[in-house]
A and B are shown apart, each in its own frame.
Chain A
């Protein structure tokens, strides 16, 4: 047994910790190394940074106080909800503050007449729908992690989900936000009315990945639960046929609530995890859900069955009840984590391609994986061309993690060259910021930087995320010419 000294905080953070303790209460400020280390990564576990201080906020005032003290001390802060993000958006700043919002979890009563509900950012996505259900209402965005991910995180990343094909992303379902800006000012963006004049600042805030401020309250739009829902599971012997079915359905003028596709490897993983009973021998399966008025759903359902048959579907199963529907979805929604059963490690990727290019892009991904000697499982929102390739690797094998990371990166570039984007719904975060330069020109990025500086001139809100190059807001955006004075003085570096 030996006594060890706590690693000393830097003077700056030690002083900040003391101030935070007096402002929000000692028990809400963590600096114990053992404890803060559990916060060093979010759902993207291969990116780790130990925060100096963790604040467990329980009220808006705690958020305001924390942001104010950080701003005064010039210490960066990162907001975090349930910590399930897949792009490292809640990766802490070293020597910074991690502002945990998971205890801000109150919901106001559902305003059924106006189909709205106001919630705190730590509220879990699924709770909103559970609260709305007695009123025949639901919250539409349904990320696969909806049973644990927080609304605040959904807003930060503009989360999607299986049903976004028909209902849109988080940005389409947030009416208003109360936001603490990086200089501790509390502002209200949007409101309860469906439209607001002036710049769409709420639109800018949603998907800003914590770089513009911290939401402390969100007013969400609720949708009417559709009269009828029909779900079917279709098995194929080829990926082309499955992808072709998706295009044919959309071409026929049908907008399904969801069209999800999984390939053989992903099916294998899901089966191992939740025994969802997907068709045996399937190379690809589609989960197709239609919802709306009973008569419309029935008619479209027959049409979809027809289209699937024409594309050589070898097995079509129709969910007889909610339990069967839940099982079909369970396989799909558990797929990411389930891959942990068939591979020691993996990267979840998130890219978008035009729907019509599915077969060729998938074939190309296969080819690229073979070349590296790696396996790629594919789980994706086929309806809107949002791919989630899962690059499997064994971190015990020397160099394989690096190979896998390269492959994952190459897949994203393939998405961009195919006319798509580097993220559909997981956000850019820490993981993909270097890829932003593949998608945008320096001028584009500088323009975005101007917006960011308008909200966060000191650059303390979730720095090092989204943008490939850390920029200082004092720096005049524009095409960079030569070395920045800070660089020249050896005080900072551009990477």
Chain B
């Protein structure tokens, strides 16, 4: 495991290979070409003779069994002892791959005409250029499984490596619902495939921690103490951090700076005439690590004429376990969320985390089998809105004060691809005098956060994070704005690791600052050093 430090690519401050900072293209890798001597018979750069592993899909993990010496004549996949947390994994094969409980729908698989239009927007295909790590390939794997191929390590791995960013859903001209397909596949894996002890342990840890705001909050104290002690920097400097297993390193590095918790009241009355009664989903990670965002959301909604109710009894909406294939846990959370907001008597449920919003909008589909819940789930889904969607729908009434600055708005995949919300957040930002929006290259490409992905698949997540961070930096914007805590942590920590810290804020925080007339300097300072921002871990100076 190599540590990423500025200049580790051997090009000083140049962006990583093939990154948008180097070119607006998706995927092409062209570093090293420029440095090669000309004068070949065609005059072409002899790029192909260079050690390619340094440039293309550089950190592609080995296939199962590829890290060990194989006896001659052995297929690569017949043996394998890859390890996680140092514990050996055993090979297993599940046949038939899927059981009868909602396997991927063959009709939806049939919608795929194999055209390949999804390939260039798929993050793993962009990284590795392989069919089985593309949406088209993964759909093909599902088809193979339905045709009787077993669920084995290699199949599970390619499904696990899918970020679930849904960029392919946006790109698909045939309207293939890959979201439904992968969300049907994941519970099958969790139910039928036995993961190694180490991996199971790690997954259990994640899914027993993050979706529980109380447990997360309990962690705040020790985490703050850890951050205050600068133990992390010490470990890093001593090279001990690198000795931790990769997934733990990933978890450690993502934890944002914690500030004092800004408690939001259970009920906040509308400013002026009441236009709606809305409930706010506080979220788990959002609520614990980014409480400022919830406070800002409440203030904005109140200022726009809404009574805001933040039910105390709410918990996780089910997005995190749901996207991880933990169906039972996800459905329990969904039901509790439905009950909570039904009791709250709200016109709308407003969500400020993209992953949660897209999950709530799927409640009807998720609970379709349970007659006593299906209609209620659908009803709640229909009343759910992303904060930017809701603000645009409602129409602004509060006065916006100028915030003269340039903003790079980063599309969260679960907002842009999963909910189709691209214009609304931009409209909210453009409605603030003085803000100039800067487009980020490769906007459709996931930053690698993808829920728990950066904890479960730290290597590709890191590569994607670097790519996104370079693209954000290349805009030269004063502030990066995003609408999902995952993207925030991912990009902010990547930037910090690269020694390029940058102010980051949620869309609604910018709007809140504008409505309250906060000076732009204060907003930027808080977005750089306030709670929720990345800890500066490298010694390199901030930009």
A residues neighboring B (CB under 8 Å): 1-4, 6, 9, 11, 14-15, 17-18, 21, 25-27, 29-35, 37-39, 41-43, 45, 56, 58-62, 82-84, 100, 102-109, 118, 120, 122-124, 127, 130-131, 145, 147-149, 176-178, 188, 190-192, 216-217, 219, 272-274, 334, 336-341, 344-346
Q: With CB as the reference atom, state the residue of chain B lying closest to A395.
A: B110
Q: Is the CB of B63 within 8 A of A105?
A: no
Instruction: Tell me the chain B residues, 142-162 only, with Cβ under 8 Å from chain A.
Output: 144, 149-150, 152, 154-155, 158
User: Interface-forming stretch among B51-59, B308-316, B533-541?
Assistant: B51-59
Q: Across the interface, which residues of A come within 8 angstroms of B72, CB to CB?
A: 15, 18
Q: 13 A–B contact pairs at CB < 8 A?
A: A2-B150, A3-B93, A18-B72, A21-B70, A27-B60, A34-B152, A43-B114, A45-B113, A103-B52, A118-B44, A124-B28, A336-B113, A345-B110
A120 touches B172 (CB 8 A): no
The reply on B225 being an interface residue by CB < 8 A is: no
Beta-carbon contacts of B132-146 to A below 8 Å, as 1s and 0s?
100001001100100
Cα–Cα, bound, A188→B152 (Å): 44
B375: interface (CB < 8 Å): no
Contacts known (A1-B93, A35-B154, A107-B30); A334 close to B47, Cβ less than 8 A: no
Q: Provide the bound-state CA to CA distance between A27 and B128, in Å.
A: 12
Q: For the complex, is B111 an interface residue (Cβ under 8 Å from A)?
A: yes
Question: In the bound complex, what is the Cα–Cα distance between A338 and B113 (angstroms)?
Answer: 9
Does B95 sit within 8 A of A, measured CB to CB? yes
A189 to chain B, nearest CB (A): 9
A116 CB to closest chain B CB (Å) equals: 8
Query: Across the interface, which residues of A come within 8 angstroms of B42, CB to CB?
Result: 118, 176-178, 188, 190-192, 217, 219
Inter-subunit contact A43/B48 (CB<8 Å): no
Given A18-B73, A145-B117: A105 in contact with B49 (beta carbons within 8 A): no
A225 to B57, CA, bound (A): 33
A27 contacts across to B, CB distance below 8 A:
60, 62-63, 66
Q: Find chain A residues with CB under 8 A from B128 CB.
A: 103
Across the interface, which residues of A come within 8 angstroms of B91, CB to CB?
3
Give the complex CA separation of A38 and B75 in angstroms.
Answer: 17
How far apart sit A41 and B113, CA to CA, in the bound complex (Å)? 11
Asked if residues A216 and B95 are in contact (CB atoms below 8 Å), the reply is no
B377 beta carbon closer than 8 Å to chain A: no
CB distance from A401 to the nearest CB of B (A): 13
A219-B43, A273-B174 known; A337+B115 contact, CB < 8 A: yes
Option from A4, A35, A145 in Cβ contact (under 8 Å) with B95: A4
A217 with B44: CB separation less than 8 A: yes
Which of A6, A127, A188, A344 is close to B27, meaning CB atoms less than 8 Å apart? A127
Contact of A58 with B131 at beta-carbon distance under 8 Å, contacts A6-B75, A127-B27, A191-B41 already known: no
Which of A21, A108, A188, A273 contacts B47, CB < 8 Å? Answer: A108
> 7 closest A-B pairs (Cβ-Cβ)?
A340-B174, A60-B48, A32-B77, A58-B52, A118-B44, A337-B173, A334-B173
Q: Given contacts A59-B48, A108-B47, A191-B43, are A341 and B117 in contact (CB under 8 A)?
A: no
Tell me, in angstroms, the Cα distance from A147 to B130 when the chains sit together.
Answer: 17
Check if A83 sits within 8 Å of B116, measured CB to CB.
yes
Q: Is the CB of B56 within 8 A of A105?
A: yes
CB-defined contacts of A176 to chain B, threshold 8 Å: 42, 44
B8 is an interface residue with CB less than 8 A from chain A: no
Set of chain B residues within 8 Å of A337, measured between Cβ atoms: 113, 115, 117, 172-174
Bound together, the chains give a CA A6 to CA B32 distance in angstroms of 40
Query: How far, in angstroms, from A104 to B28 measured CA to CA in the complex?
Result: 9
Question: By the criterion of a CB under 8 Å from any partner CB, how many residues of chain B are at the interface?
Answer: 74
Chain A residues whose CB sits within 8 angstroms of the CB of B62 once the complex forms? 26-27
Nearest chain A CB to B500 CB, angstrom units: 25
Shortest distance from the beta carbon of A239 to any chain B beta carbon, whole Å: 24
Check: B11 CB closer than 8 A to any chain A CB. no
CA A29 – CA B65 in complex, angstroms? Answer: 12
Which residues in A have their C-beta under 8 angstroms from that of B63? 27, 30, 32, 35
* Closest beta carbon of chain A to B37's beta carbon, Å: 12
In the bound complex, what is the Cα–Cα distance between A105 and B130 (angstroms)? 13
CB pair B114–A341 under 8 Å, yes or no, is no
Proximity bits, B100-137, A CB within 8 Å = 1, else 0? 00000000001111111101100000001111100001
Bound complex: CA A56 to CA B41 (Å): 26
Q: Smallest distance from the beta carbon of B150 to chain A beta carbons, Å?
A: 6
**Across the interface, which residues of B come within 8 angstroms of A219, CB to CB?**
42-44
B131: which of A38, A61, A216 is its contact (CB, 8 Å)?
A38
Looking at the assembled complex, report how far the CB atom of A69 sits from the nearest CB atom of chain B, in whole angstroms.
Answer: 15
Provide the residues of chain A in CB contact with B76, threshold 8 Å. Answer: 21, 26, 29-32
Give the residues in chain A near B154, CB-CB below 8 Å: 32, 34-35
Contact A32 B75 (CB under 8 A): yes
A6 to B152, CA, bound (A): 11
* A82:B119 contact, CB within 8 angstroms: yes
- Check A43/B116 contact, CB under 8 A, given A338-B173, A340-B111, A341-B175: yes
With A82-B119, A120-B48, A341-B175 already in contact, the answer to whether A108 and B33 are too (CB < 8 A) is yes
Find out whether the CB atom of B29 lies under 8 angstroms from the CB atom of A106: yes
List chain A residues, Cβ under 8 A from B116: 43, 82-84, 145, 148-149
Cβ-defined partner of B33 (8 Å) among A18, A31, A106, A191: A106
**Are A43 and B131 closer than 8 Å at their CB atoms?**
no
> CB < 8 Å: which of B57, B60, B144 contacts A37?
B144
Listed residue (B56, B62, B78, B93) with the most chain A CB atoms within 10 angstroms of its CB: B56
B94 at the interface (CB under 8 A from A): yes
A217 to B49, CA, bound (A): 12
Contact A123 B52, CB 8 Å, known A148-B120, A341-B175: no
Q: Which residues of B contact A346 (CB under 8 A)?
A: 113
CB nearest to A130 among chain B residues: B25
Q: A27-B63, A84-B116, A102-B129 are in contact. Are A340 and B43 (CB under 8 A)?
A: no
A123 CA to B23 CA in the complex, in Å? 14
- In the complex, chain B residues whose CB is within 8 Å of the CB of A43: 114-116
In the assembled complex, the CB of B369 is this many whole angstroms from the nearest CB of chain A, namely 25
| CA of A98 to CA of B71, assembled, Å | 23
Please determine whether A273 and B173 come into contact, CB atoms closer than 8 angstroms: yes
| Min CB–CB distance B205 → chain A (angstroms) | 25
A18-B72, A83-B116, A118-B45 are known contacts. Are A38 and B129 too (CB-CB below 8 A)? Answer: no
Known: A35-B132, A148-B120, A334-B117. 11 other contacts (CB 8 A): A26-B66, A26-B70, A31-B75, A31-B76, A83-B131, A102-B129, A108-B45, A188-B42, A191-B43, A334-B173, A337-B115
Q: Could you tell me if A338 and B174 are in contact, using CB atoms closer than 8 angstroms?
A: yes
Closest residue of chain A to B24 (Cβ to Cβ) is A130
Of the candidates A15, A106, A188, A341, which one forms a contact with B174 in the assembled complex, judged by CB atoms under 8 Å apart? A341
Partner of B141, one of A34, A58, A190: A34
Given contacts A34-B154, A105-B27, A118-B43, contact A340 B66 (CB under 8 A): no
- B46 contacts across to A, CB distance below 8 A: 60
B108–chain A nearest beta-carbon distance, Å: 12
Give chain B residues whose Cβ lies under 8 Å from the Cβ of A340.
Answer: 111-113, 173-176
Whether a CB of chain A sits under 8 angstroms from the CB of B397 is no
Q: Please give the distance in Å from B14's CB to the nearest CB on chain A.
A: 15
Docked complex Cα distance between A492 and B412 (Å) = 58
- Tell whether, in the assembled complex, residue B28 and residue A123 are in contact, meaning their CB atoms are under 8 Å apart: yes
Chain A residue contacts of B240, Cβ below 8 A: none
Q: Complex formed: what's the CA distance from A59 to B111 in Å?
A: 35
Residue B328, interface by CB 8 Å:
no
Given contacts A31-B75, A39-B131, A103-B57, whether A273 and B175 have CB atoms under 8 Å apart is yes
Report how far A39 CA is from B137 CA in the complex, Å: 8
CB pair A84 B44 closer than 8 Å:
no
Q: Which residues of chain B are within 8 angstroms of A124 by Cβ–Cβ distance?
A: 27-28, 120
Q: Is B13 at the interface (CB under 8 A from chain A)?
A: no
Q: Name the A residues within 8 Å of B111 (CB-CB).
A: 340-341
